[in-house]
Structure 1
Amino acid sequence: MNKILKKSVSNIDILLFFIIIIIKLKQYSIQIGEGYFLKSSIFPTASSIAIILAIAILLKNKSRVKFLFLMDLIISIAIICDINYFRYFKDLLSIPVIKNGFLLGDVKSSVNSIFKIQDLLYFSDFLVIIPLMKIRKHFNFENISFVKRLAITFSILIIAVSTNSYYFYELSKEQPRLISTMYNKVYIEKKLGLINTHGIDIFNTLKNDASRKMAISKTKEEEIQNYLQANTTESSTALKGVGKGKNLIMIQVEALQNFVINAKVNGEEITPNLNKLASQSKYFDNYYYQVSSGGTSDAEFLSNNSLYPSPSGAAYYMYYDNDYNSIAKVLKTQGYSTNVFHGYKETFWNRNIMYKAEGFDNYYSEKDFNIDETVGLGLSDKSFLNQTVEKLKTMDKPYFSFIITLSSHFPFDDTEHYGDFNTGKYENTLLGNYIKAIHYTDEQLGMFLQKLDDEGISKDSIIVLYGDHNAIPKENEKDLADFMGIQNMNELEWAKLQKVPMMIHFPSNEYAEVNHITSGQIDLYPTLCNILDIQNQDLLGSDLLNTKNSTVVFRNGSFTDGKVFYLSSNSTYYDYSSGEKLNETEDLKAERTARLKELEYSDEILKHNLLKVYDKQNNN
């Protein structure tokens, strides 16, 4: 009995580690996935913990305790970071995203608004563990021989790795390329557990870094090129060249979601100026944002390049040294000057480097504006847009000016500067504060558009305006459901709300209509190619003016054509209108495979800088 007791005490650290990590991961699963843990990921999770324990057993007692303490700390930090990242982005952290953190040095207010003090409970076990570690020092435990420890480690690893391999294989059968691309990290976590997910992320990051240095096969290179060429084939030319030679003013509005357009609170319009612009423009009301981890920068990337963003991290950071066939580059060949306006730090999102790669001549950032009024993160939209008009007045025509607003940035907490718009029962909620913020930005955009009219700029310009990404995190879905009158806010209804408005305004309000085509940010560039009569080459999107049916593909592998909505988060097809779940048919399976292939092609283009290769071939 003494020997059994002694062995139990000597291995208490292993038992405690296993129990504590299981409890933490179960609680974590409740916070991000409604308690899926015991249903789907308990065995791969236990196996991943067992692998850590197998490594620990190789170490001598004192080193083992320190190792397990360190692993507990690392896992606890990962859990807290994932939870907070998930609260806003509905995604999990990855190595590329962490790298992006170096580009996001001044978003403390956003982080503070998401973090909850109870998150620190994940560290509560250390209040017990640290004293136990000190007490344990006073006991002398006999070290098992290295040969025995190696045998135990080997035995555990065989069982744990075999179990993990089985679940990895099952997931790869269910969703091919998911593990290698990690286009849906949340689903991987639900199936394989947090430790495995981050392990895969580390492996894929190292593999992707290595693959960038390896040449792509000639067969794959030609396959992608053929796909791009087929995608640019046009059979009709509606509105082709109607904007040829005119200025292009493209406005990306921070956190502008489509649900506020033509909506009212207490009988007052939230966005009266944008409502007016929509009525005078081609307004695309089924236009989805397609961003990934890069947020605002991904929206810029999609709209200017018609390529998908990186599945993890931001293309602005990972592929800044690539060659691009961007709008700015093509317009420069037509004699346009190309300019970007954004009243924030020039290095934020690596913009000062990326804009050069995309062919912009001038980048007017925070240092080029008089910071005379701040709202939210920086220069107010009012001051920014007023100063931008003055700069536009001095430019040689034709020009392409890309304008990015800032004041309506999450967490919408600068309410004293948003004005006195009454949000009724939503006062002092995040939704209410967002409505105030976007109402403020709408007012400034209204003044800006009026000045463009007054200065005679509008009559010589195509004006494009769209939102970059969502504003309302999923944890605030109840208020949004109430606002929208949605009784059952399920995953499908939430996905259908992830739209941003897109408007294309022509001189004299010509061609104004509402276009209901299912579309996304990747389609903007090809559409502008048609309007401006410029080169449409090596683009993945569709010209929305000459396309009857379009499919929107999201970075996580979901897609919709307006009839069917496939959600990769639960690997389910839905009838778009009725919400009824659909069984997978061969046609649906083929569609899913084709959409994943499209994402893969975009990734290969970025990883191997294929546009540079194709450009050389086209010029020879």
Structure 2
Amino acid sequence: MDISKLINNKVSDHIIHGIDLLFFAIVISIKVIVYATQISPDYLYIKVFYPIVASILILVSFAALFKGKKRMKFLYIMDIIVSIILVADIMYYRYFKDILTVSEIGNARLLGGVSSSVGSLFNIKDILYFVDIIVLSFFIRKFNKKTPSYTPTLLKRFLTFIFIFIIGFCIDVKSVYAVSQEQPTLLSSMSNRIYLTKLIGNLNFHAIDAYNFVSTKAKNLEPLSDERKTEITNFLKSNNQYTTTDLKGSMEGKNVIMIQVEALQQFVINQKINGQEITPNLNRWLGKSLYFDNYFYQVAGGTTADAEFMSNNSLYPSISGAAYYNYSGDTLSSLAKELKDKNYYTAALHGNTEGFWNRNVMYRTESFDKFYGKSSLNSNEIVGLGISDRSFLNQSIEKLKSFKQPYYSFIITLSSHYPYDDVKHYGNFNVGEYEGTLMGNYLKAIHYTDEQLGTFLDKLDNDGITKNSVIVLYGDHFAIPKTNADQLFKFEGTTNTNDLNWINYQKVPLMIHFPDDKNSGVNHTYSGQMDLYPTLANLLNLPKNYMLGQDMLNTSANNKKVIFRDGSFTDGKTYYCSSTNTYYDIQTGKTIQETPELKNKKVEYSNELTYSDDILNHNLLKTLENK
């Protein structure tokens, strides 16, 4: 036999045998690259190619262990799984501007109630991720009818696996190690997911996330060390020390009416379109209240529920998933609990189903006496996800009148919920050039809600309820996803679309109305939802033992801070964007270099997030309260 012909046949057999592996690697690489460009234009740079290729090589290495039909089936299943992960990530990013994690998959139980929201996040182009899967199904059926002409031995398959796996593994280890040296806590806390995926690639991110999820569950079974408990306890004590006590106890014994408004953002306040005020009623009430105009939402994956959680507990949201699910069994020193200890009647009211966001469980944990949800109210008018704000707020007035005083009522509106597509109920508000756009629909929705809030607040005033009540009203989270940032920037008339400008539009209004319109004015303190409870605790003379936020009325200029769940922060002078690892001077709008002081703040604020995680993961307040 001709030796050269034999060698050529052997080489040909090996090439043919490896074509499926090569094809898989190329297809997945293309999908990941396309995904990356959708997440961020600057996602792809030379260093991230190495971990992306490495993660794909590891998948290919395991496929090499199989032969024939089994290998084809393995590759096909991996293709489907990777495609689903990428599309799920993209849809999640369009709304949350973040990467999906294992914990947040638990929130999928909510999708049945917000199918319109989910549907609006799906783009027809997403189908392209599955085109190859559909085409391949035809070829696989053809392939399964044939018997392969060449099948390598188990030893050869194993050696191929080892060879490919070691290459991929070594590249991955090098990339991950570099990250661990640059930012030691990033891999464990995953507080900055987008930035992390830019360093290690999407597939590696999900592998590490799965590992962290399992290891965290295991670690949480172990008690915190005494040293860690002492460290957290000392921080809580120092965090709640103030040199001034402005308005301390001034609202003690008053009713508390707190209203969380769905998707209310500050950029609509005192703003007009076509000569019409967008929020005329809120503008009027803000004018006779204490109005905080540098107040940020700090929500994470739990969005509305996170806003509730922070405002009522002054603890940070869960690092992944929603605190309302993850920590519904914890002991909490909530606003409702502390007021209940002062003989307040406490009630939550919302026009959606009781189980949505696990409220029916969490409100009991937070010590509310009663939750008036959809089944407790009259569903005589539905807008979007539940009872219309008009009907809901009218019914809420009647409930308030029946409550034993003093009371704390926590009211959550609903009609202005994304994607704002129930426009037939929003009235004939003229949005001009924005007609038919997401921005236009939002403006109609929030104008409708403003009208209902105006009627509600005026009734409280006319019925004399405001004479003995402190009224708190704030927005829960963003209205316009970053995917539609162009519409927001156009509305604001700006061409500067950097991260600093974006975060400046992520403020939500906060007003505190005092009896007889006292203490009205504008407070420019940089603050966030974590700071609401400590501020109310000062006004109502409540204990402040377990709060991570700060009293907005008594925080010194040097201690101001707004920390976001992704590790970004601002102190009123500087804004740090964690996803790009960039610092901005707020006054000039220019990027600045990291200083030792800023680096220390970044570490300090990252530690604060982990303190909150430890408190919640280990139910630490139960231990501290029992001391």
TM score, norm. by length of structure 2: 0.97
Question: For residues 115-126 of structure 1, what are the structure 2 equivalents within 5 Å?
Answer: 115-126=122-133
1:224 correspondence with 2:232:
yes
- Give the CA deviation at 1:128: 3.2
What is the one-letter code of the residue matched to 2:582?
A: T
Distance (whole Å) between structure 2 residues aligned to residue 74 and residue 478 of structure 1: 32
Task: In structure 2, list runs of 5 or more residues that go unmatched.
Answer: 1-7
Contact preservation (8 Å) 2:261, 2:476: yes
1:57 correspondence with 2:64:
yes
Distance (whole Å) between structure 2 residues aligned to residue 86 and residue 123 of structure 1: 19
Matching residue of 1:11: 18
Distance (whole Å) between structure 2 residues aligned to residue 171 and residue 35 of structure 1: 18
Distance (whole Å) between structure 2 residues aligned to residue 143 and residue 297 of structure 1: 56
2:360 to 342, 352, 371: 352
**Farther off after superposition, 579-588 or 147-156:** 147-156
Per-residue CA distance 1:415-435 (angstroms, 9 max, x = gap): 111011111111111011101
Distance (whole Å) between structure 1 residues aligned to residue 216 and residue 324 of structure 2: 16
Matching residue of 1:385: 393
Contact preservation (8 Å) 2:13, 2:150: no
Question: For residues 238-253 of structure 1, what are the structure 2 equivalents within 5 Å?
Answer: 238-253=246-261
Classify 1:189/1:318 alpha carbon distance in 2 versus 1 (closer, same or farther; 3 Å).
same
Distance (whole Å) between structure 2 residues aligned to residue 302 and residue 230 of structure 1: 19
1:554 correspondence with 2:564:
yes
Distance (whole Å) between structure 2 residues aligned to residue 158 and residue 15 of structure 1: 17
1:439 correspondence with 2:447:
yes
Task: In structure 1, list runs of 5 or more residues that go unmatched.
Answer: none
Secondary structure of the corresponding residue to residue 346 of structure 1 = coil
Per-residue CA distance 1:431-473 (angstroms, 9 max, x = gap): 1110110000000000000111122111100000000000001
Matching residue of 1:88: 95
1:463 correspondence with 2:501:
no
Per-residue CA distance 1:336-385 (angstroms, 9 max, x = gap): 01100001100001110000001100000000111111111110000000
Secondary structure of the corresponding residue to residue 503 of structure 2 = helix
Matching residue of 1:544: 552
What is the one-letter code of the residue matched to 2:591?
A: K
1:74 to 55, 69, 81: 81
What is the one-letter code of the residue matched to 1:120?
A: I
Secondary structure of the corresponding residue to residue 576 of structure 2 = strand
1:411 to 419, 425, 440: 419
- Percentage identity across paired residues of the two chains: 51
Secondary structure of the corresponding residue to residue 380 of structure 2 = coil
What is the one-letter code of the residue matched to 1:596?
A: S
1:160 correspondence with 2:168:
yes
> Where in structure 1 do 4 or more consecutive aligned residues deviate above 4 Å?
none
Question: For residues 40-55 of structure 1, what are the structure 2 equivalents within 5 Å?
Answer: 40-55=47-62
Secondary structure of the corresponding residue to residue 626 of structure 2 = helix
Matching residue of 1:318: 326
Matching residue of 2:434: 426
Matching residue of 2:159: 151
Distance (whole Å) between structure 2 residues aligned to residue 307 and residue 265 of structure 1: 38
Matching residue of 1:610: 620
- Give the CA deviation at 1:268: 1.0
**Farther off after superposition, 6-15 or 353-362:** 6-15
Question: For residues 294-309 of structure 1, what are the structure 2 equivalents within 5 Å?
Answer: 294-309=302-317
- Give the CA deviation at 1:125: 0.9
Contact preservation (8 Å) 2:179, 2:199: yes
Q: Number of aligned pairs? A: 617
What is the one-letter code of the residue matched to 1:561?
A: D
Per-residue CA distance 1:196-252 (angstroms, 9 max, x = gap): 111111111111111221111110011001100111112211011110100000000
Contact preservation (8 Å) 1:33, 1:190: no
Matching residue of 1:26: 33
Distance (whole Å) between structure 2 residues aligned to residue 111 and residue 461 of structure 1: 39
Distance (whole Å) between structure 1 residues aligned to residue 74 and residue 240 of structure 2: 56
Secondary structure of the corresponding residue to residue 112 of structure 2 = coil
Secondary structure of the corresponding residue to residue 251 of structure 1 = strand
Distance (whole Å) between structure 1 residues aligned to residue 161 and residue 275 of structure 2: 69
What is the one-letter code of the residue matched to 1:105?
A: G
What is the one-letter code of the residue matched to 1:365?
A: G
Secondary structure of the corresponding residue to residue 452 of structure 1 = helix
- Give the CA deviation at 1:189: 1.4
Per-residue CA distance 1:555-612 (angstroms, 9 max, x = gap): 0000001110000000111111222111111111001000000001000001100111
Contact preservation (8 Å) 1:26, 1:35: no
**Farther off after superposition, 144-153 or 458-467:** 144-153
Question: For residues 178-217 of structure 1, what are the structure 2 equivalents within 5 Å?
Answer: 178-217=186-225
Contact preservation (8 Å) 1:41, 1:190: yes
- Give the CA deviation at 1:35: 5.3
Distance (whole Å) between structure 1 residues aligned to residue 588 and residue 244 of structure 2: 33
What is the one-letter code of the residue matched to 1:57?
A: A
Contact preservation (8 Å) 1:61, 1:141: no
Distance (whole Å) between structure 2 residues aligned to residue 456 and residue 35 of structure 1: 56
Distance (whole Å) between structure 2 residues aligned to residue 184 and residue 143 of structure 1: 46
**Farther off after superposition, 340-349 or 54-63:** 54-63
- Give the CA deviation at 1:38: 4.3
1:563 to 547, 558, 573: 573
- Give the CA deviation at 1:170: 1.4
Matching residue of 1:524: 532
Per-residue CA distance 1:20-40 (angstroms, 9 max, x = gap): 000111111111111522433
Distance (whole Å) between structure 2 residues aligned to residue 140 and residue 204 of structure 1: 41
Distance (whole Å) between structure 2 residues aligned to residue 28 and residue 11 of structure 1: 26
Per-residue CA distance 1:108-162 (angstroms, 9 max, x = gap): 1101111111210111112432232233331424332222222222222222112
What is the one-letter code of the residue matched to 1:394?
A: S
What is the one-letter code of the residue matched to 2:67?
A: K
Distance (whole Å) between structure 1 residues aligned to residue 273 and residue 180 of structure 2: 47
Contact preservation (8 Å) 2:393, 2:452: yes
Classify 1:441/1:339 alpha carbon distance in 2 versus 1 (closer, same or farther; 3 Å).
same
Distance (whole Å) between structure 2 residues aligned to residue 345 and residue 208 of structure 1: 31
Distance (whole Å) between structure 1 residues aligned to residue 303 and residue 46 of structure 2: 32
Matching residue of 1:129: 136
Secondary structure of the corresponding residue to residue 113 of structure 2 = coil
- Give the CA deviation at 1:521: 0.1
Matching residue of 1:594: 604
Distance (whole Å) between structure 2 residues aligned to residue 243 and residue 390 of structure 1: 23
TM score, norm. by length of structure 1: 0.98
Matching residue of 1:475: 483
Contact preservation (8 Å) 1:284, 1:503: yes
What is the one-letter code of the residue matched to 2:243?
A: S
Contact preservation (8 Å) 1:256, 1:501: yes
Question: For residues 355-366 of structure 1, what are the structure 2 equivalents within 5 Å?
Answer: 355-366=363-374
Contact preservation (8 Å) 1:251, 1:465: yes
**Farther off after superposition, 185-194 or 252-261:** 185-194
1:491 to 494, 499, 523: 499
Contact preservation (8 Å) 2:389, 2:449: yes
Distance (whole Å) between structure 1 residues aligned to residue 294 and residue 377 of structure 2: 35
Secondary structure of the corresponding residue to residue 245 of structure 2 = coil
What is the one-letter code of the residue matched to 1:565?
A: Y
Distance (whole Å) between structure 2 residues aligned to residue 84 and residue 295 of structure 1: 15
Distance (whole Å) between structure 2 residues aligned to residue 545 and residue 189 of structure 1: 39
Distance (whole Å) between structure 2 residues aligned to residue 299 and residue 174 of structure 1: 32
Contact preservation (8 Å) 1:10, 1:141: no
Matching residue of 1:584: 594
What is the one-letter code of the residue matched to 2:442?
A: Y
Distance (whole Å) between structure 1 residues aligned to residue 260 and residue 470 of structure 2: 14
Distance (whole Å) between structure 2 residues aligned to residue 610 and residue 124 of structure 1: 50
Distance (whole Å) between structure 2 residues aligned to residue 612 and residue 40 of structure 1: 46
Distance (whole Å) between structure 2 residues aligned to residue 345 and residue 40 of structure 1: 47
